[in-house]
Amino acid sequence: MDRRKALRNMGLAMGYTVATPTLISIMQSCKGEPVLEWTPDFFTKEQGAALTKLVDIIIPATDTPSASEVQVNLFIDRFVNEVIEKEQQDFLKITMDRFLDKSLKDSGKEKQSDLTPEDLEKTLAEALKATKDDRTRMFKAIDTYNESLAKGETPSIDDAVSRFSFSNSLRDFTIWGYKTSEYVGEKVLEYRPLPGEYIPCGDLQELTGGKAWSL
């Protein structure tokens, strides 16, 4: 299945479809800003550059634009900075640092700015190749870490679990940000800005040709 069809059929799979005023504001603030002039709000400049490469690894340009071309990198940075709780922000920093440290170690490079898409893709693929049992174990470790943190403790977390957590979250954020971008919402998904007839039990294939609704 090509990426365009996969996005069309994604529908509500991500579970991030509620358009709150904050989310709408973030999406609007990303529109029209030149990516080359982007200064991250949450991430460091080097992390922002790595983030841009990573979102394009997850969703590269094909018959539709890449993730960074619809400014998913800006969306993720601003969403993390403005919406998620500080504990989640801190955890994301930890997991991203360990992900990038692994890329540096494996590539033999010293600076994050020197990491290429190939360097980052290797780390991403390794982190996401976990088996079902591995994923269950790592999600449990992440839950245990967060529970301990909530109790005021100072827990530790395995490096491999950290890299998996960052990679898995980044993949979800990227798909969500891409799906909710203006281009995908209007050009790839089924988009009708004006409400029409209410059909409670209509077949999606008949109503939209199988495409998920944008709104």
pLDDT tens-place values along the chain, 215 residues long = 444 444 444 333 333 344 445 544 555 555 555 455 678 999 999 999 999 999 999 999 988 888 998 889 998 999 899 888 888 899 999 999 999 999 999 999 999 989 999 999 999 999 999 899 999 999 999 999 989 988 989 899 999 999 999 999 999 999 888 887 665 555 555 445 545 555 556 555 554 555 554 44
Residue 102 one-letter amino acid: K
Is 215 a domain residue?
no
Is 162 a domain residue?
yes
Q: Tell me, what's the pLDDT at 187?
A: 55
Q: Tell me, what's the pLDDT at 197?
A: 57
Residue span of the structural domain in which 44 resides: 3-208
Is 214 a domain residue?
no
Rounded Cα distance between 63 and 43, Å, is 30
Is 85 a domain residue?
yes
Classified as helix, coil or strand, 157 is coil
Classified as helix, coil or strand, 125 is helix
Give the count of alpha carbons within 13 A of 174, CB side only: 20
Q: Tell me, what's the pLDDT at 174?
A: 92
pTM over 0.85: no
Is 139 a domain residue?
yes
Q: Tell me, what's the pLDDT at 215?
A: 47
Q: Tell me, what's the pLDDT at 181?
A: 63
Nearest to 126 by CA among 95, 92, 93, 99: 99
In this structure, the number of other CB atoms found within 10 A of the CB of residue 129 comes to: 10
Rounded Cα distance between 210 and 205, Å, is 4
H or E stretch covering 122: helix 117-128
Nearest to 122 by CA among 141, 92, 100, 143: 100
Task: Give the count of domains, the chain.
Answer: 1
Q: Tell me, what's the pLDDT at 191?
A: 46
Is residue 179 packed enough to be buried (19+ CB in 10 Å), middle (13-18) or exposed (0-12)? buried
Estimate the share of the chain in helix, then strand, then coil, as percent rounded to the nearest 5: 65, 0, 35
Q: Tell me, what's the pLDDT at 158?
A: 94
